[in-house]
Amino acid sequence: MNVAEFHQQIENVWQAIEEQIDEQGYDIDCEVQGAVMTLTFEDDSQIVINKQEAMLELWLASKLGGFHFAYKDGQWQTAEGRSFWTHLNEAFARHGETANFG
């Protein structure tokens, strides 16, 4: 994957997250600044998702900890093969919201 494809894949992820938040009517503030998307919940807790261009990775930090994802076989996965969407669903649950991403 080249850098342009990397950025497009991340934009697709961010768009899917924003659409799901809107569709489900979550009371979550979604802000993108540069390479960072911040999801802020009612209690001011956050999930932070950011692009790591140098490594061509997507990173997610939440109450569950931090995770790194590489694009393999058409999806963002950890080195252990767990999907970004699974981690995001679990992070939402930890932040008190039921989500069904991906």
Instruction: For residue range 38-79, list pLDDT tens digits in order.
Output: 999 999 999 999 999 999 999 999 998 999 999 998 999 999
In the prediction, which pLDDT does 9 show?
94
> Scanning the structure block, which residue is given the tokens 């911040």?
38
In this prediction the pTM is 0.90
Task: Yes or no: say if 71 and 80 are a contact pair by the CB < 8 Å rule.
Answer: no
Looking at the chain, the number of H-run helices and the number of E-run strands are 2, 6
- Structural domains of the chain, with CATH: 3-94 (3.30.920.10)
Instruction: For residue range 38-49, list pLDDT tens digits in order.
Output: 999 999 999 999
Q: Is the pLDDT of residue 6 over 90?
A: yes
